[in-house]
Structure 1
Amino acid sequence: MSDETTIAPARPRAGLARYVLAATSARTADGGAVVAIVLLATTSGDPGWLAGALGACVTAPHLLGPFIARSLDTARDGRRVIALASLLHGVTLAAAVLLHAETHPIVPAVLLIASGLLGPLLTGGISSRLPAIAGPTRTSQRRAQGWDVATYGIGGTAGPSIVAALSAWASPLAAGLVLAAGAVIAAAFVMLLPYSPPPVAASDIPRPARTLAVMLSTGPLRRTLYLTMIVAFSVAALPITAVAGAAMLGTGEAAAGVLTAAYGLGNLAGSVGVMARPLEGNADRLMTRLAVVVATTLFAVVLSPTFGLAAAAYAAAGIANGYFFAATLAARSEYSPDEMRGQVFVWTGALKITAGSAGTALAGTLVTASAHLPLVLAIALTAAAALASTTERRTRSIR
């Protein structure tokens, strides 16, 4: 039996199970935080601008995550860094929701900024631990990356769902506290992950700016970065266009939730597909091909003449994005230098979140002119990024 098909031993499987629990708990807390804060502010009678500002206090600091991510690579035990981040994320989130009604808004805002600053360590930071857990073969690594994609999908879906359910049953305050407790529980699971020693001495770990420079000057990492950002920017338009698209199809704006759910279920289906049959081949080429597939599914959304076909197209887009995300995780893992792996994961994750936020904002602006204009732009950008990636590789091979 070849090395590619060797089954990972029991210990990696046990470590992967703990990883899934830790990552799902952390990402559920991170994924639901904004919804909990906005609902809490809204139901408390705060003006809309303040609710939005408090929500932004959670998301905007993600861009600063790479500047604290160096600690992942320099620490003697990276688990402690992630566990501490998860613990502090939970504590600051709990303090913010508890003090919201009792203090000036600046106090919860500062606490939420601190909570948001730690968010990248719960997303890309945890993912950076996966290569040391998943097993020695490429097949086992890529199957584990399917699990990782699933934890993102579950966290992004379960977090807001938990907030909605608990807010209806109890209150947004209770929902925020439950999310905070989830982050604290995640910290305990992180410490149960297998220990992996630092790859190099702390003095050899580059600074964040140097890491970004290396990423931009290294072909596969550069392509990973811009493909990840462009696809995130593009698919972020789907929830916005779902509302306008559902109305155009004569089903009413409420049916937009069905389209969005179809996309989310498709994303989970894509992660299951990667688990069942891990991606094969060069991760760099896979990203390009799968970006084209994502663009094709977005084109199918634009062309869908009926609600049923639109739902199928949204599901297909979710599946394609699930596979694409798994390919980007493979690329981050396989092309990152050992001394900066944690920073590469967090840089890519932080810029992905920023690109997604920009995509949502721009889609909200463009959709007023035309329901399909955001997706037309998304298709063009994704196709252009895939073409640029292909051209880069061909130019390099000719040289």
Structure 2
Amino acid sequence: MRTPNKEITKALPGDRPAGAGGLARYVAAATLARTADGGAVVAVVLLVTTSGGPGWLAGLLGASITAPHLLGPFVARSLDTARDARNVIAFACIAHGGTLAAAVLLYPVTLPIVPALLLIVSGLFGPLLTGGISSRLPEIAGDSRESQRRAQGWDVATYGIGGTLGPGIVAAVSAWSGAAVAALMLAAGTMLAAILVKLLPHGSRAANQTEVPKPGQTLLLMLTTGPLRRTLYMTMTVALSVAVLPITAVASTGHFKVDGAAAGILTAAYGLGNLAGSIGVMIRPLKGDADRLMTWLAFTVAGALLCVTLSTVFSAAIAAYGLAGIINSYFFAATLAARSEYAPQNSRGQVFVWVGALKITAGSAGTALAGAVIAGPAPLPLHAALVLTAFIAACSIVDRNSTRNPVQ
């Protein structure tokens, strides 16, 4: 099957260069939305625990807002059928923030089932704040591949900032005035994000609804289209692999003979590396075919994980974690490029959200598996992760070369 977009180096159909102003509004909206999405679960868990609630309830309500992300692909079709996808994303921001605020306010005065149901609704809209917003970037970034990929560097940065800033804001505000106030601040951020989304440039008109595949059909398309298939399984593999790093950081403090709290330094180094990598993509955008870039960057991720395993002193481990963050950012930027350049115009939103949802699933699986086996030798999860990443990267080469058509 041929790639849906024949000229991947040119503007996608309907793209309109938006200039720096459009990209700036996009970055602001995406950062606000992803900060709320990244901090919401921390706020919910703190709300329960600081009010004296049991741990099982904190876990249940936290899962209520994270688990529905897996259903994201089944609501993402609206992005591809709407006459104006900005309305869909703006509504998602308002719904996410509104139900989060309602759950927080009602938690002290109702049975737990009420906030749980509200948080499920909030979580259901979460994927539209992550992959859904990213699916609009190709129509904002400009008509050249260089401008598209530079903008993808900004997009990677919004994920990193949101994932770091969200929990940080919650921790700081919770210590100052309580977890409820922190959650309400996140909710207010999504409302502001909705306004900024509405100020983004209008994209191309929607396809006829009969031309937009259903979620299952989109997944099948992804599995049978070479570049999208490789995007999917390499994204999931790398997400699973890097998810072991925080668990390994905690387990390795004894090996380095440092205080347990020093694990936070390693995870912070990884986060700063992610941010540095995104800046690198902005300054010098990735060049070349996105499909092949993913393969070689996946090998590089495996190499960075190897550096972590070979670190014998704490300072070397800090540098290795930072390197892993940098490489992961470059890999993430390559996956965004692949989604933009290979996804069909009539299902681009669904492709972005499908990959994002399965990436979250794989990352959660990696964390769970690492936690399950960390009682053994501390490097074991890391060794397994780097071998798996290198193996899947090698499989992608075989996959690409196993057909006569070079884009398969």
Alignment of 1:186-197 (within 5 A): 186-197=193-204
* Equivalence for 1:44: 51
Alignment of 1:119-158 (within 5 A): 119-158=126-165
1:227 to 218, 221, 234: 234
Q: How many residues are treated as equivalent by the alignment? A: 395
* Equivalence for 2:81: 74
Deviation at 1:317, TM superposition (A): 0.2
Alignment of 1:32-181 (within 5 A): 32-181=39-188
Deviates more, 1:388-397 or 1:293-302: 388-397
Q: Does residue 1:359 correspond to 2:366, yes or no?
A: yes
Give, as a single letter, the amino acid of the residue that structure 2 aligns with 1:230: T
User: Is 1:73–1:198's contact at 8 Å kept on the other side of the alignment?
Assistant: no
Provide the rounded CA distance (Å) in 2 between the counterparts of 1:327 and 1:10: 21
* Equivalence for 2:385: 378
Per the alignment, do residues 82 and 245 of structure 1 end up closer, same or farther by CA in structure 2, a change over 3 Å counting? same
TM-score, L = length of structure 2 = 0.95
Deviations 1:11-50 (A, max 9, x none): 4221100000000000000000010001111111111111
Provide the rounded CA distance (Å) in 1 between the counterparts of 2:303 and 2:284: 22
Alignment of 1:246-395 (within 5 A): 246-395=253-402
The alignment-based identity, stated in percent, is 66
Provide the rounded CA distance (Å) in 2 between the counterparts of 1:203 and 1:15: 31
Deviations 1:113-169 (A, max 9, x none): 000000000000000000000000000000000000000000000000000000111
Provide the rounded CA distance (Å) in 1 between the counterparts of 2:377 and 2:42: 27
Deviates more, 1:363-372 or 1:348-357: 363-372
Runs of 4+ in 1 over 3 A off after TM superposition: 8-11
SS at match of 1:165: helix
Per the alignment, do residues 398 and 85 of structure 1 end up closer, same or farther by CA in structure 2, a change over 3 Å counting? closer
User: Is 1:199–1:338's contact at 8 Å kept on the other side of the alignment?
Assistant: no
Q: What RMSD, in angstroms, separates the aligned Cα atoms of the two structures?
A: 1.6
Give, as a single letter, the amino acid of the residue that structure 2 aligns with 1:346: V
Unaligned ranges ≥5, structure 1: none
Deviates more, 1:362-371 or 1:128-137: 362-371
Deviation at 1:202, TM superposition (A): 2.1
Provide the rounded CA distance (Å) in 2 between the counterparts of 1:171 and 1:294: 39
Deviation at 1:10, TM superposition (A): 8.0
User: Is 2:299–2:393's contact at 8 Å kept on the other side of the alignment?
Assistant: yes
Give, as a single letter, the amino acid of the residue that structure 2 aligns with 1:80: N
Deviations 1:309-341 (A, max 9, x none): 000000000000000000000000000010100
Give, as a single letter, the amino acid of the residue that structure 1 aligns with 2:38: G
Unaligned ranges ≥5, structure 2: 1-8
Deviations 1:182-232 (A, max 9, x none): 111111110000001235222210100000000000000000000000100
Give, as a single letter, the amino acid of the residue that structure 1 aligns with 2:247: I
SS at match of 1:101: coil
Provide the rounded CA distance (Å) in 1 between the counterparts of 2:17 and 2:116: 45
SS at match of 1:281: coil
Deviations 1:27-78 (A, max 9, x none): 0000000100011111111111111111111111000000000000000000
Give, as a single letter, the amino acid of the residue that structure 2 aligns with 1:68: V
